[in-house]
Amino acid sequence: MTVSDKGTVDPDMNALDALFAQATNDVGARPSEAFMTRVVTDALAQQPMPQITPPSLWAQITAMVGGWQGMGGLVAATCAGFWIGINPPEGLPTQFETFLGSETSISLLEDGIKDTGMFGFGWDMEEG
Amino acid sequence: MPLDAYTDLADDALLAQYSKGDAAAARALTARLTPRVFGHAVRVLGDRSEAEDVAQDAMMRLWKVAPDWRMGEAKVSTWLYRVTANLCTDRLRRKRGVGLDEVDEPHDPSPSVTDQLQTRERMDALQAGLQTLPERQRQAVILRHIEGLANPEIAEILEISTEAVESLTARGKRALAQALAPAREKLGYEDDSI
């Protein structure tokens, strides 16, 4: 409701306010569907193309081994192999044993050299 | 991104999406802004065909400026209204002297024939009354009373002070009330509770 400067209700202004309210919702001032389609067509024609960036080297490697799942399996297998290498389980021949083809070892210190009296380089030899 | 998600996005965020090549953002922006731009143009110009030209031109300028738009610096709708207002001013300057009889009125597909006729008559009368106002007053009255914008935003659109907007809208409204007074009873909008 519009009130004039003198504090009285102005019927002309109130009628106009009502008319404005009706005009705000007037469907006659809305664009047609065909026009809206034209604007969308313009928009799509003017639209910058989506920027396609090539995948990084890391992304290419992970994709090569089957994505993150493949990469996870690869890391797990590597860790397991490394652990078995430094701490082989019982019964599994070591690399040294495999190389020699035998599990027999010779202890020179205990049986041979010590008994010959040549061990110790004279620290325990008596003088005179 | 689902289409519903776009309704919560601000205009400038949508514009950024549009610049990244998102086609749904283009459609969402069109649906949101085109009716406002067209509505303003059709009320200022009083001609649907010319309003379509202006609205299409204004929207085209938005699409072109989109890649360079700086987020948070200006309000997209204010910028667009300003472009539309200027395009309307240019058109009106070029076609001075066109009579009210030549004004093309929008069509209203409302259900009741009587209501439809009366609504159409009222809207025609309002449009005819608006056409009697000087161009700047008309723009200010439409933006303030029909588009429902605040005075500071209208000041930004018309590139004048807020005080000048207040003066324009007050004088425009008084002039419009006087222009419509003889037809008030005939149009029957005084006893409606709208």
Burial bucket for residue B54 (CB in 10 Å: 0-12, 13-18, 19+): buried
The total of structural domains in chain B comes to 2
Q: What is the mean pLDDT of residues A32-51?
A: 91
The encoded tokens of residue B177 equal 């009330």
In a domain, B128, yes or no: yes
In a domain, B75, yes or no: yes
pLDDT at A12 over 90: no
* Cα–Cα distance measured from residue B78 to residue B189, given in angstroms and rounded to the nearest whole number: 32
Domain boundary among the residues B104, B121, B136 is at: B104
Strand locations in A60-108, DSSP E? none
Do the chains contact at B59 and A36, CB–CB below 8 Å? no
Domain boundary among the residues B87, B104, B121 is at: B104
Q: Using an 8 Å Cβ cutoff, are B82 and B157 in contact?
A: yes
* Cα–Cα distance measured from residue B81 to residue B87, given in angstroms and rounded to the nearest whole number: 10
Domain boundary among the residues B46, B79, B104 is at: B104
In a domain, B1, yes or no: no
Do the chains contact at B189 and A18, CB–CB below 8 Å? yes
Residue B93 is part of which domain span?
Answer: 9-104
Nearest to B181 by CA among A16, A2, A22: A16
pLDDT at A117 over 50: yes
Report H helices in B66-161.
Answer: 76-94, 113-132, 135-141, 151-158
Name beta bridge partners: A9: A3
Cβ contacts below 8 Å, chain A against chain B, sum to 125
Residue B149 pLDDT: 96
ipTM of the shown complex = 0.80
Name beta bridge partners: A3: A9
* Secondary structure letter of residue A51 according to DSSP: P
Q: What is the mean pLDDT of chain A?
A: 74
Contacts of A16 in chain B (CB under 8 A): 173, 176-177, 180
In a domain, B98, yes or no: yes
- What residue ranges of chain B have pLDDT lower than 50? 98-103, 108-110, 191-194
Do the chains contact at B177 and A12, CB–CB below 8 Å? yes
Residue B193 pLDDT: 42
Interface contact A51, partner B, CB < 8 A? yes
User: What digits encode the pLDDT tens for the residues A43-99?
Assistant: 999 988 766 677 788 888 878 877 777 888 888 888 888 888 777 777 666 666 666
In a domain, B2, yes or no: no
* Cα–Cα distance measured from residue B171 to residue B163, given in angstroms and rounded to the nearest whole number: 12
A9 φ/ψ angles, rounded to the nearest 5 degrees: -75, 130
Asked if B141 and B91 sit in the same domain, the reply is: no
A3 φ/ψ angles, rounded to the nearest 5 degrees: -110, 135
Asked if B118 and B77 sit in the same domain, the reply is: no
User: What digits encode the pLDDT tens for the residues B8-64?
Assistant: 889 999 999 999 999 999 999 999 999 999 999 999 999 999 999 999 999 999 999
- Provide the CATH number for the domain around residue B156: 1.10.10.10
Contacts of B119 in chain A (CB under 8 A): 22, 26
Residue B69 pLDDT: 92
Asked if B156 and B188 sit in the same domain, the reply is: yes
Radius of gyration of chain A (CA): 47
Q: Among A1, A38, A47, which would you mutate to test the B interface (most chain B Cβ atoms within 10 Å of its Cβ)?
A: A47
Do the chains contact at B123 and A22, CB–CB below 8 Å? yes
Domain map of chain A by residue range?
1-52, 57-116
Residue B39 pLDDT: 95
Asked if B117 and B175 sit in the same domain, the reply is: yes
